[in-house]
Amino acid sequence: MRAYAVYLLIRGLGSFAGACAFTLNLVYQIQTVGLGPLELVLVGTVLEVTCFLAQVPTGVIADLYSRRLSVIVGYLLIGTGTLLEGLVPAFLAIVVGNVVWGIGSTCVDGAEEAWVSGELGEDRAPAVFTRGAQVGQVTTVAGIGAGVLLAGIGLNLPIVAGAAVWLLLGAVLVFVMPERSFEPAAPAERGSFAAMRGQFVAGARVVRGRPVLVCLLAAGLFLGLGGEGWDRLQQAHFLENLRFPSFGTPVVWFGVFSVIGMLGSVAVTEVVRRRLDPARPGRLGTMLVVAQLGVVAGVLVFASAGEFWLAAAASVLVGLLRSVCHPLVASWLVANTEQRTRATVFSMSGQVDAAGQILGGPPVGLVGERVGIRAALALTGLLVLPAVGLYARAVALGRSRDRSRRVRRERADSIP
């Protein structure tokens, strides 16, 4: 098959499998396996640690041997880990399954994009990625629907079905995925833990002396601290503390939330994209401050809500605003970096976010276990609150810098 068609197949089946398996997997972990708040968060933390540690060695496989091989092995591992979770309803099995899933995910991450870019050419890559994203959006909706239907029979069935699709995808790719343009990376370009350390040091050198970037990365740390608790405990709050309407089961309602959230995110992100102006980073910052303040308010309302509809509205609002924040942060980082250092700063931003999730998850889960899920969710909102102040500080610093530049230009122009 042509690489273009194979990439669309990967995006379509992969997105379908992910939506089918994960839309309701927390409901499965809560109601079938019986995990408590701490165990729910620990599963997510183990996954984050696995992805963080496996990123380098799996990158070496893709660089040294074959991006095609890395992608195929990745989807087979993702399917195997997910299948283990769906077939064995026990905490240890879910942890092991997530470790296997995480290793597989890092095999795919980056290698997939590098493979299709190499096969089709960098000039065609943006259009291919856009088309792949559109295919993924359509199949995600289909996957959510399939997951809801299967969950009506058994909560583990969507997970098993998603795993089967991933395993099928990996097997099919063995026969149809081409690789004609791969060249092993030069030794200096290959991933290693020394390279990761060097990248972090290089990023620190770039950020040092740039107060705006310091504020943005520090804000990312606080977002990570609160993010894991929100992701893992949101459905638990609905199930344990709120009464669902008489029409429709919790499974159906979670499916509805997922579809609304995905379609809403597409629409809202498009609106924001049209209003983005990289030449006006102050405007980006103001939009981000407002959006992030809305996230904090939404999380606190959700944590304290006693009525289903209020909690549902707050949950959807938080999801939409979080989807908006990502392109705003990315655009702001672009506006404050140069081409030669941009990738390093973005990589460092990802490392900071991962570190925040790893550090913040267990304490939030412990609060949920000892005090209650409402308290844990409120804590996630408070952990994110400093990010609002840091973004506001970055806006002020950016405006001060711009004023100084204007003054210097005016002085230079006034010199005869």
pLDDT, tens digit (0-9, with 9 covering 90-100), for 202-259: 666 767 767 888 888 888 899 988 888 888 898 889 988 888 888 878 888 888 888 8
Does residue 186 have a pLDDT over 70? no
Q: Using CA atoms, how far apart are residues 292 and 274, in angstroms rounded to an integer? A: 19
User: Quick check: 366 and 233 in contact, CB under 8 A?
Assistant: no
Average of pLDDT values for 338-363? 76
User: What pLDDT band is residue 28 in, cutting at 50, 70 and 90?
Assistant: very high
Model's pTM, two decimal places? 0.78
CA 83 to centroid of chain Cα atoms: 22
Measured N-to-C along each axis, helices 211-241 and 37-64 cross at an angle, to the nearest 10 degrees, of 130
> How far apart are the C-alpha atoms of 17 and 24, rounded to whole Å?
12
User: Is pLDDT at 409 greater than 70 in this prediction?
Assistant: no
**Section 375-402 average pLDDT:** 86
Task: Judge if 1-178 and 192-416 fold alike in CATH terms.
Answer: yes
- 208-224: pLDDT as tens digits: 767 888 888 888 899 98
In the predicted structure, residue 95 carries a pLDDT above the cut 90? yes
The torsion defined by the Cα of 385, 389, 395 and 401, in degrees rounded to 10, comes to -140
Q: Pick from 320, 231, 323, 12: which is nearest to 137 by CA?
A: 12
Among 78-92, 114-128, 279-293, 333-347, name the most confident range: 78-92
The domain ranges of the chain are 1-178, 192-416
| Six token digits for residue 358 | 């790893």
Give pLDDT tens digits for 285-302: 788 888 899 999 999 999
pLDDT band, very low/low/confident/very high, at 56 (cuts 50, 70, 90): low
By mean pLDDT, which of 31-40, 53-62, 188-197 is the weakest? 188-197
Band (pLDDT 50/70/90 cuts) for residue 266 is: confident
Reduce the DSSP state of residue 336 to 3 states and report it: coil
- Report in angstroms the alpha-carbon separations of 178 from 7, 9, 363, 394, 413: 10, 13, 46, 46, 59
Give the position of tokens 């098959």: 1
Token pair belonging to 340 = 């030669």
Rounded to whole angstroms, the Cα distance separating 185 from 247 reads 57
Residue showing tokens 């096969």: 119
Question: How far is the C-alpha of 341 from the C-alpha of 291, rounded, in Å?
Answer: 27
- pLDDT score for 404: 59
Cβ atoms 21, 147 nearer than 8 A:
yes
**What confidence score (pLDDT) does residue 77 get?**
95
Whether the pLDDT of residue 54 is over 60: the answer is: yes
Q: Which stretches does DSSP call E strand in 97-187?
A: none
Q: How many CB atoms lie within 10 A of CB 174?
A: 11
Asked if pLDDT for residue 351 goes beyond 90, the answer is no
Are 48 and 361 in contact by the 8 Å Cβ rule? The answer is yes
Which among 315, 321, 285 has a CA at the least distance from the CA of 299? 315
| Domain 192-416 of CATH type 3.30.450.40 | no
> Which residue has tokens 């109601």?
31
Instruction: Determine what percent of the chain is predicted with pLDDT higher than 70.
Output: 81
Residue whose pair of structure tokens reads 């122009």 in the numeric block? 413
Contact 7, 195 (CB under 8 A): no
Segment 368-390 mean pLDDT: 91
Give the number of residues written for the chain.
416
Q: DSSP code of 109?
A: T
Distance (Å, whole) CA 398 – CA 281: 8
> For all residues of the chain together, what is the average pLDDT?
82
Q: Which of 92-101, 136-145, 317-326 has the lowest mean pLDDT?
A: 317-326
Q: What gap in Å lies between CA 262 and CA 22, rounded to an integer? A: 14
Give 201's pLDDT tier (boundaries 50, 70, 90): low
In DSSP notation, 354-386 reads HHHHHHHHHHHHHHHHHT-HHHHHHHHHHHHHH
First to last CA, the chain: 67
Q: How far is CA 145 from the centre of its chain?
A: 22
Identify residue 84 by its one-letter amino acid code.
Answer: L
Residues 6+ apart with CB under 8 A from 174: 72
Question: Token match 């460092």: residue?
Answer: 348
What pLDDT does 94 receive?
Answer: 95
Cα 377 → chain centroid: 19
- For residue range 105-145, what is the model confidence (pLDDT) as tens digits? 888 877 787 788 778 876 676 677 767 777 888 888 899 99
Instruction: Give CA–CA dist 20/159, Å, rounded.
Output: 7
Q: Which amino acid is at 66?
A: S
* Portion of the chain with pLDDT greater than 90, in percent: 29
Q: Tell me the CATH class for 1-178.
A: mainly alpha
Q: Is the pLDDT of residue 192 over 60?
A: no
| Helix residue spans in 109-192 (DSSP H) | 111-120, 125-151, 157-176
On the question of pLDDT at 199 being above 70, the answer is no
Within 229-361, strands assigned E span none
SS3 179: coil
Token pair, residue 336, equals 């404050």
